[in-house]
Structure formats: structure tokens, C-alpha cells
Amino acid sequence: MHNNTIHQPAVEVVTVTLNPAIDQTVTIPNFAAGKVNRVEQVQSNPGGKGVNVAAALADYGHSVAVTGFLGRESCIPFETMFAQKRIADHFVRIAGQTRVGIKITDPVAHQTTDINFPGQAPTPADLATLEQRLSELSAQWVVMAGSIPPAVTPAIYRELIQTVKAQGRRVILDTSDAGLQQALAAAPQIIKPNIHELEALVGRPLPTRQAVIAAARALLTPGIELVVVSMGSEGACFVTAERVVIAHPPDVAIKSTVGAGDAMVAGIVAGQLRKLPLEQCARLATAFALDALTHIGAGLSAPSAIEGLMDSVEIEVSEYSDAQVRSDFVG
């Protein structure tokens, strides 16, 4: 087969979304399971973790390409958004529809209920095409994010990370369960589990901040340089071998929690591209996440909003000694 896609123009970031979704956000005040609920508002947005990361980075002025698998029957909303945000579309089109993820958001209780469909299964040929595209896309950073589609091995992220790291690229991974567990062996430079994903990974509850930091530090094997643990309204811990930065966000009026973790990943990448020190990177990533909470849909409300939000984030820094880490594990 003649391949005319080699030598793609370089971008700063490539995001990989194996299992994208059309996010249908349904607003229901006082939502109650098992009862009749009245919908106040409904909105559909192309989504999936890597797509959300790409949208926020593009809005912040970075050059981004996207790849992964998109169902042929429902790719128009994605194509429209990619065109609007000037995101280079290298998704592999596969048979069927892209899944729908329903988010029921209750503005009174400040809660979001997720109903996630499984998604289409790519064929082995689709997987081979994805690997080919990924190896042809030149970027400093590759973001791999989200769940793994049906019938795809949980080792997929490990394999993709090994491929792109061998080409000298840096990887940030945001996934969960077996996909995360197996990918650790390939040592992505940055991982961003939320507190629940980290607890599942280490197989125990992490009731204190010390326990969270100790568990994150234990993941810093050679090659993994930064572990960011997002903890919702508690903020996030940014953990390296030498230090820990805890970002405390201010209270904001929450419209939707959809995509806040993805916005944080975008902020981490933006901080890395700007070579910011860890404290500033933590501020920027938290500002991105805060911005996502204030509106529905992928991307930033406005790039100018980020600076003001950065100023509102409180930062706490600790240098961690080995003795401290040992006492964390025992305690």
C-alpha cells in the first residue's frame, strides 16, 4: 500500500484517545435515581479524555494533533471541532458509531453521574494503522488518555508508550485499571491518576495526604519523573523524587465536573512545554482544571481567564527526605 502520510509536519503535542465519546451533558436539578426527573438543559459535545486535552491545549495556543479511533458513523461533531480549533485530525476511522457518554449533572447537589457506554471494538488492522500514524506524527509530548475499547488488550498503552519513547518522545498517561497497571512497566514520564485510581492501583485506601504522597512516590521508578494525583476539591499533589507540591484551589461555582481532570492534564503539558518550575506548573494545571469546572464542553472558556485563576491557587511545597517517606509507609 502506498503511504503518502509520512513526514507529517511537527506539532508540539499529539493526544491519543482510543475510546472517544460524544459527551451528552444533561442538567437535572435535584436528580434522583429511580424517580421521574425533568431535564433543564441538554448539550452534546465531542469528548473523550485525549480529545478534551487537545481542545484545551489548542485554545491555549499550542499546536496539537489528535489520533485514536473514531466511529465512521458519528465523526462529524469531532471533525467540526477539530476544524474550529485548528487541531490536526489523524484519527483512524473504524466501523460503527462513536460511543455516547451520558453525564447527568445536578447543579443543586453539585454532583455528576456518569453513564459510560463501552464503545466500538477496533480490528487488528485498525490497531496497526494507529501504530503507523502515531510513529509518523512528530511531537515533543504524547498524551495517552482514557479507557481502552472492547476487545483491545490492556497492554495497549504499554506497547504504545514503548514505541513513542523509542523515538525520543515524552509521554503523559492518564488512564486507570489494568491499562495503567501494565503501562507502568514502560515508564511514561508523567502519570496523572485521581485519588480513586491511585487507591485501586496500590490496592488500599489512602485516607491521609501523607499516604497519598507515599503511594505516589512509590511509583517514581526510573523513567517516571512526576506523579500528579488529583483529589477533586482537595486540589492535587505533584510528586517528584525530590519534592512535593500541593495545589489548593479556591472555591468556584461548579457548572460541570466533566473534563476537569483532562484540563489538568492539558495544563501539566502546557507547563512542561513552557519549562515552568514545578510550583508554576501546579498553578497552571490547577487553573486549567478550575476553568473546566465553570463551563460545559471541551476547551478553555478563554485563555485570558487562566492567569487570574493561577493567582487564586495556593501552593504548599515540601522537600521529602527518605526518613519521612519510610515513616509515611509505616504510618
- Phi, psi (rounded to 5 degrees) for 210: -60, -45
Cβ proximity of 180 and 209 under 8 Å: no
**Catalytic residues, which ones?**
262
Q: H/E element holding 144? A: strand 139-145
Whether 213 and 175 have beta carbons less than 8 Å apart is answered as: no
Looking up cell 471541551, which residue turns up?
298
Cβ neighbours for 327, distance < 8 A, ≥ 6 positions apart: none
> What DSSP string runs through 105-142?
EETTTTEEEEEE---PPPPHHHHHHHHHHHHH--EEEE
For residues 38-52, average pLDDT: 94
Domain spans of the chain, in order of start: 11-330
What are the pLDDT digits (tens) for 77-93?
999 999 999 999 999 99
The per-residue pLDDT for range 210-240, each reduced to its tens digit, is 999 999 999 999 999 999 999 988 899 999 9
Report CA dihedral (270, 276, 280, 283) to the nearest 10 degrees: 10
pLDDT band at 295 (very low <50, low <70, confident <90, very high): confident
CA distances from 298 to 47, 85, 194, 230 (A): 7, 11, 19, 19
Q: How far apart are CA 175 and CA 61, in angstroms?
A: 25
Nearest CA among 139, 141, 155 for reference residue 225: 141
321 pLDDT tier (thresholds 50, 70, 90): low
The per-residue DSSP string of 171-201 comes to: EEEE--HHHHHHHGGG--SEE--BHHHHHHH
86: left (phi over 0), alpha (psi -120 to 50) or beta: left
Asked if 192 and 225 count as a contact pair (C-beta separation under 8 A), the reply is no
Mean pLDDT (whole number) for 44-53: 95
- The CA-atom distances, in angstroms, between 272 and each of 52, 104, 230, 267, 309 are 18, 33, 18, 9, 18
Provide the 3-class DSSP secondary structure of residue 307.
helix
Integer angstrom CA distances of residue 83 from 97, 99, 218: 20, 21, 42
The mean pLDDT of 229-257, rounded to a whole number, is: 91
pLDDT attached to residue 2: 42
pTM comes to: 0.91
Q: Could you tell me the fold of the domain covering 11-330?
A: UDP-N-acetylmuramoyl-L-alanine:D-glutamate ligase (3.40.1190)
Give the per-residue pLDDT at 8. Answer: 67
Arithmetic mean of pLDDT over the chain = 92
Task: Tell me what pLDDT residue 320 has.
Answer: 67
Cβ atoms within 10 A of the Cβ of 173, count? 27
Grid cell for residue 104: 447527568
CB-based burial of residue 21 (10 Å sphere; 0-12 exposed, 13-18 middle, 19+ buried)? buried
Buried b (16+ CB within 10 A) or exposed e, 119-147: bbebeeebbebbeebbeebebebbbbbbb
Please check the confidence at residue 19 and state whether its pLDDT lies above 50: yes
| Residues in contact with 276: Cβ distance below 8 Å, sequence separation at least 6, in sequence order | 284
